[in-house]
Amino acid sequence: MAYASNTSLFSTFVVIFLVATLIISVSAAGNFYQNVDVTWGDGRGKIVNDGQLLTLSLDRSSGSGFQSKREYLFGKIDMQLKLVPGNSAGTVTTYYLSSQGPTHDEIDLEFLGNVTGQPYTLHTNIYSQGKGEREQQFRLWFDPTADFHTYSILWNPQSIIFYVDGTPIRVFKNMKSIGVSYPNNQPMRVYASLWDAEDWATQGGLVKTDWSKAPFTATFRNFNADACVWARGQSSCRGSTRTGPWMNQQLDATSQKRLRWVQKNYMIYNYCTDYHRFSQGLPKECTVSKF
């Protein structure tokens, strides 16, 4: 009887220990103290709520920003954002992946503010070997200042896919076979910032920042990087078969349908249809099916 009692007690302890361990690991996944460094802003970037939230602020003197402690070479990056409310004209909140140097790679999400009651513009771009000019812009189908929404970048050797709340909004395929450069050999960090771009951000710079509304604040939470960590010149995924499903993930038929819905109803600019800008011919990737 005593043996049974002790066994039961031990089993209960193991269960409690495992649950506690799980809670700790889940919390750590989104803990900003562990995952990022606030790199500029002189105190305007703040980690709060025991590392569960990070706020970036902008005033007339400065904006602010942070970067991930680690570099990644392929992965799925998720971040929840609540954007600057009210009159956010002239402000830009960014969340992106980037390497460094003149031939850097970059995968860009920029949220361009607007006057009260007018929608944000979500500006996306992809740089490879220092060359960008691959802009697509979208409106969102919700108010991004009222609550947190999840913005994701899936980056694998085949494709880059942008998601908003799990809905794909853009895909860029690896088309090196036809001479289109693709970010696949430079590890990148995650960056985020809030800064003033009143000379171009809102209605082409016609609407300026109303500094009487400062400080402007954007809030981040639940940063998660299910990704290959780059350290000491090598990837944590090298030789491993335990990478996530994102490593080979592509858009299935349902996701393709949702992507078409977004691009039909919410895309407001696509470099692949800007014949005036590319009067000598559209970029090569624009002539190939995205699927």
Catalytic residues: 106, 110
Which has the closest alpha carbon to 124: 113, 139, 114, 134? 134
Q: How far is CA 230 from CA 170, 206, 242, in A?
A: 26, 42, 16
In sequence order, the 6+-apart residues with CB closer than 8 A to the CB of 47 are 32, 33, 36, 38, 53, 54
Can you tell me whether residue 61 is helix, strand or coil? coil
> Both ends of the chain: CA-CA distance in Å?
65
Q: Cβ distance 133 to 274 under 8 Å?
A: no
Contact by Cβ (8 Å): 71, 230 = yes
How far apart CA 259 and CA 290 sit, in angstroms, is 11
97, 106 Cβ separation under 8 angstroms = yes
Asked if residues 51 and 34 have their Cβ atoms less than 8 Å apart, the reply is yes
Q: Which helix (DSSP H) or strand (DSSP E) does residue 98 occupy?
A: strand 91-98
What the block records as the tokens of 203 is 């209605």
